[in-house]
Amino acid sequence: MAYSKELLDHYENPKNVGSMDKESEQVGTGLVGAPACGDVMKLQIKVNNKGVIEDAKFKTFGCGSAIASSSLITEWVKGKNLDEAHSIKNTEIANHLALPPVKIHCSILAEDAIKAAIDDYKKKNRKNR
Amino acid sequence: MSMKKLKNIYFDYQATTPVDPRVLKKMMPYFGEIYGNPHSRNHSFGWEAEEGVEVAREHVAKIINANPKEIIFTSGATESNNLALKGVAEFYGDKKNHIITCVTEHKCVLESCRHLAGKGFEVTYLPVQSNGLINLDELKKSITDKTLIVSIMGVHNEIGVIQPLEEIGNICRSKDIFFHTDCAQAIGKIPLDVDKMNIDLMSISGHKIYAPKGVGALYIRRKPRVRISSMISGGGQERGMRSGTLSPALCVGLGEACNIYSNEMEKENKTLTKYKEMMLEGIRKSCPDVYLNGSEEARVPGNLNLSFAYVEGESLMMGIKDLAVSSGSACTSASLEPSYVLKALGVEEELAHTSLRIGFGRFTTENEVKYATDIIVKEVKRLRELSPLWEMAQEGVDISKIKWAHH
């Protein structure tokens, strides 16, 4: 199976690897997937008071396509507001990385992860208001 | 330590092996000047080809202490396993109809059994213990007066464990049950003796022992005699058990491969043991939470099946792309299901997803082993830094207690 140059680049030099303080009110955390299925993604966003995502970090247990999908989506969401980030579709990720059909689920997982992170942020900040 | 970057190193000797140049050299004349049909009885062209085949048969017989008349050539271990099981079942099926095998057998054994189950045979699939070996008491308990044959492989293709063949053979012989063993991965790796081990049928593969693909053999005991129904109709070659003109070149290749092992098995095992220990120690020294799948004692040295906890196997394979290894998770296939073998050992699914099979063989060098150990360690460390599971484990979170949303 030949992977695209974009995919290999994100796998070999992943962007935005790391963790942020999940207790911080500015940070939303999404943890999706399951170890038994072979994929777990943790995606975190840091949102400023204008509602714009100013930083994003990830850690992923999964195949190269899963790592690349999460690396790519952290790049994409930076600078976007929550609604824009929420509307990213898995097909955009799959197309950009030229994911083979058996790896489409990796892009779905990345979409789920960003949505989960946004939900977590919103839930936190609703409570605190 | 700086080491020259090596490209494309083969660590998949359980999948197949390259043809040994000494084997190829013996085969070459049979692709050229010796072109007779080995079954032609009337002229020297046939006799010459036949002689090559018969010498090869002797070499195959010798390595398992059999009589050459008990060896028939086939296209490989898959055919041999099919022929042994279906052939015995068809011949004796009206008297006894129970087959015992094991859940971790090769697919061609399991599928042959499934086929026979569809024809009215009862099949018992023995479980394995966490070390990959069958429990002999379980075997004894599952034997009935209808048990016709027991089929247990000698050395496992995926995890490299060695089943107690002699003990299984003794149990079978004492109950008048045929014992078939798939020894595709065992020939040349462990000493085999069909008499001492009471083996009645044994499947042999060429391409796992440095002979070409497309050739194998089946040992069928003559005293006490085992009979099989043939699967292929034709001219009645191979004592009527396997019709079709033999390929002298391929037979000669298999024979020479066995001949080499008859002389070199011990020496080769010593080298491979050294490599295995080098790699295992090198990895364990630098990476915690690495688990060896299958018994550490009862295993052949050329097989390391390792689970690298918190690192998904396919991503690891991508990271060590210059090493040709095999994924234990089988995630590269369309199924996305972890290996049925690791599952049978009781390896949890999350750990099964982190497994690799690393295979050493005759042409592996010490330099390659060192290089591979280094880049595996480096890549495992890198991917663990990327792994949320590793992070949780370091924070003391019990991953098994988290409610994961299975998708």
Q: Are residues B229 and B328 in the same domain?
A: no
Query: Is ipTM > 0.90 here?
Result: yes
Q: What residues in chain B have their Cβ under 8 A from chain A's Cβ atoms?
A: 310-312, 314-315, 318-319, 329, 331-332, 334, 336, 338, 348-350, 353, 385-391, 399, 404-407
Q: Which residues does chain A have within 8 Å of residue B336's beta carbon, measured at their own beta carbons?
A: 37-38, 102
Contacts of B115 (CB under 8 A, 6+ apart): B86
Contacts of B41 (CB under 8 A, 6+ apart): B47
Q: Are residues B147 and B65 in the same domain?
A: yes
Q: Are residues B256 and B269 in the same domain?
A: no
Q: Which of A61, A64, A66 sits opposite B389 (nearest CB)?
A: A61
* CB B39, CB B58: distance < 8 Å: no
- Lookup: tokens for B305: 């099946």
CATH code, B362? 3.90.1150.10
**pLDDT band (50, 70, 90) for residue B339:** confident
CATH code, B208? 3.40.640.10
Q: Are residues B238 and B276 in the same domain?
A: no
- Lookup: tokens for B356: 């690799």
Q: What is the dihedral of CA B256, B261, B263, B264, to 10 degrees?
A: 130
Q: Regarding beta strands B216-220 and B71-74, do their DSSP bridges make them parallel or antiparallel, or are they unpaired?
A: antiparallel
Sheet bearing B326-327, strands edge to edge: B290-292, B303-308, B355-359, B326-327
| Domain-embedded: residue B1 | no
Q: Which of A37, A42, A102 sits opposite B388 (nearest CB)?
A: A42
Q: Are residues B271 and B328 in the same domain?
A: yes
| Domain-embedded: residue B407 | no
Q: Are residues B72 and B125 in the same domain?
A: yes
Please say which residue of B239, B261, B283 terminates a domain.
B261
Q: Are residues B138 and B157 in the same domain?
A: yes
* CB B230, CB B243: distance < 8 Å: yes
Question: What whole-number distance in Å separates Cα of residue B353 and Cα of residue B330?
Answer: 8
DSSP class per residue in B66-96: --GGGEEEES-HHHHHHHHHHHHHHHHTTT-
Q: Which residues does chain A have within 8 Å of residue B314's beta carbon, measured at their own beta carbons?
A: 38, 63-64
Q: Which residues does chain A have within 8 Å of residue B406's beta carbon, measured at their own beta carbons?
A: 34, 36-37
Residue B406 has pLDDT above 80, yes or no: no
Q: Are residues B216 and B273 in the same domain?
A: no
pLDDT above 70 coverage of chain B, percent: 96
- CA neighbor of B356 nearest in space, from B271, B291, B285: B291
Q: Are residues B97 and B166 in the same domain?
A: yes
B330 to chain A: nearest residue by CA?
A38
A105 to chain B: nearest residue by CA?
B407
Residue B341 has pLDDT above 80, yes or no: yes
Q: Are residues B85 and B41 in the same domain?
A: yes
Please say which residue of B205, B230, B261 terminates a domain.
B261
> Which residue range(s) make up the domain with B301?
9-16+265-394
**Averaged pLDDT score across all residues of chain B:** 94
- Span B30-61, pLDDT tens digits: 999 999 999 999 999 999 999 999 999 999 99
For B160, left (φ over 0), alpha (ψ -120 to 50), or beta?
Answer: left
| Domain-embedded: residue B400 | no
Q: Are residues B179 and B302 in the same domain?
A: no
- Span B363-390, pLDDT tens digits: 999 999 999 999 999 999 999 999 999 9
Q: CB A105 to CB B407 under 8 A?
A: yes
Structural domains in chain A, CATH included, are 5-127 (3.90.1010.10)
Q: What residues in chain A have their Cβ under 8 A from chain B's Cβ atoms?
A: 1, 3, 11, 14, 17, 19, 31-42, 59-64, 66-67, 102, 105, 109
The reported pLDDT for the residue numbered B332 is 45
| Domain-embedded: residue B287 | yes
Mutate to test the interface with A, among B342, B400, B404 (most CBs of A within 10 A): B404
Q: Which of B314, B334, B405 sits opposite A34 (nearest CB)?
A: B405
**pLDDT band (50, 70, 90) for residue B3:** low
Q: Which residues of B are catalytic?
A: 331
Angle subtended by helix axes A64-77 and A90-97, to nearest 10: 120
Min Cα separation A63/chain B (Å): 4
Q: CB A59 to CB B391 under 8 A?
A: yes
**Averaged pLDDT score across all residues of chain A:** 94
Which residue has better confidence, B380 or A2? B380
Which single residue is written with the structure tokens 């210059």? Answer: B322
Sheet bearing B122-126, strands edge to edge: B71-74, B216-220, B201-205, B178-182, B147-151, B98-102, B122-126
Helix (H) or strand (E) holding A77: helix A64-77
Question: What whole-number distance in Å separates Cα of residue B306 and Cα of residue B351?
Answer: 10
The reported pLDDT for the residue numbered A129 is 57
Question: What whole-number distance in Å separates Cα of residue B405 and Cα of residue B407?
Answer: 6
| Domain-embedded: residue B316 | yes
Q: Which residues does chain A have within 8 Å of residue B389's beta carbon, measured at their own beta carbons?
A: 35, 40, 61
Helix (H) or strand (E) holding B265: helix B248-286
* CB B294, CB B156: distance < 8 Å: yes
Structural domain tally of chain B? 2
| Domain-embedded: residue B229 | yes
| Domain-embedded: residue B362 | yes
Please say which residue of B261, B290, B325 terminates a domain.
B261
The reported pLDDT for the residue numbered B331 is 44
The reported pLDDT for the residue numbered B323 is 96
Residue A39 has pLDDT above 60, yes or no: yes
Q: Which residues does chain B have within 8 Å of residue A61's beta carbon, measured at their own beta carbons?
A: 310-312, 386-390
Question: What whole-number distance in Å separates Cα of residue B190 and Cα of residue A96?
Answer: 51
**pLDDT band (50, 70, 90) for residue B1:** very low
| Domain-embedded: residue B64 | yes
Min Cα separation B175/chain A (Å): 43
Q: Are residues B389 and B289 in the same domain?
A: yes
